[in-house]
Amino acid sequence: MQTDDYIKAGKIAAEVRERVREKNWVGKTVYEICEEVEEEIRKRGAKCAFPVNTSINEIAAHYTAEPNDPITITDSDLVKIDLGAQINGYIADTAVTVCYDPQYDGLVQAAEDALSNAMSMIKTGVKASDIGRTIETTIKQLGYKPIANLSGHSLEQYTIHAGKSIPNIWSIGGFSLSENTAYACEPFVTTENGGGFVRNGQIKNIFAINSRKKTKNEKADKLLDFIWENFNMLPFALRWITKEWEVKEAKELLEHLVKKKAVQAYPVLIEVNEQRVAQAEHTFIPNENGVTVTTAAE
């Protein structure tokens, strides 16, 4: 395990997240936010582990800007900005909810408190189900609901979701945390009128390679090679390939690759009752004495 690379990536991701937290994004388009945040990651010497997610209000996750996306942040929006940095494929995944409307401060704080309480109990051998219980209890005591079908995850080199889940509710069974394994913990919180679940939306604008098998379409196969060389198994956005291809052609070739199952498209995730959702997230590595939170603020 490349602990050094995890720690370097975490330090960069944390710096960028804190910059995101402090900045006023009202009046900015989601395109400007994604491009600026991704540039901040690169400027510090890491690569992006996935496209920056700017998921607004009832969209819980997986919205990233389209090329020149005109959606603009207003002062009543609740925006989850989820970002990832990677060094040699070792990932730091972290998120913050920015909000300029005081009536949602409690919702945002509930996600932060749940994350903080989860981090304070971590060490090798702790059960993932107990982390879920802590997250659920914290959120419910504050009068909100956790999103039951979203969870944190184990991380491996070039793999964001590496098979193990860190739940946001108490669940039977599950696994115990291993030493020197990286995980992400990400409580998602909705209002008491929320259903506490997410459903798939129509929009799919985050992609990842599924297979390197050729599709017999020369142009599409060239794009597939480009994706592999630049992003490996990590997620990417249409924005990231329009530096090399025209938007229209890039879209058509991507659609072809999705149809051939060479590339997978991830739908946005929407709260079932269309209630607002807040998120907080850290990447951490458990050890015998406790935990290294790689994305902790300095």
Query: Any catalytic annotation for residue 186?
Result: yes
Of 40, 77, 136, 186, the active-site residue reads 186
Q: How far is CA 276 from CA 30, 77, 121, 234, 243, in A?
A: 18, 9, 28, 28, 34
Of 62, 153, 256, 282, the active-site residue reads 153
Beta carbons within 8 Å of 103's beta carbon, 6+ residues apart = none
Q: How far apart are CA 253 and CA 267, in angstroms?
A: 18
Q: How far apart are CA 80 and CA 56, in angstroms?
A: 6
Of 5, 66, 69, 93, the active-site residue reads 93
Of 77, 82, 113, 136, the active-site residue reads 82
Residues written for the chain: 298
Q: At 99, phi and psi to the nearest 5? A: -155, 140
Question: Of the candidates 85, 71, 69, 75, which has an alpha carbon nearest to the alpha carbon of residue 37?
Answer: 85
Query: Any catalytic annotation for residue 153?
Result: yes
Of 112, 161, 252, 274, the active-site residue reads 161
Query: Any catalytic annotation for residue 62?
Result: no
Active site residues: 82, 93, 153, 161, 186, 281
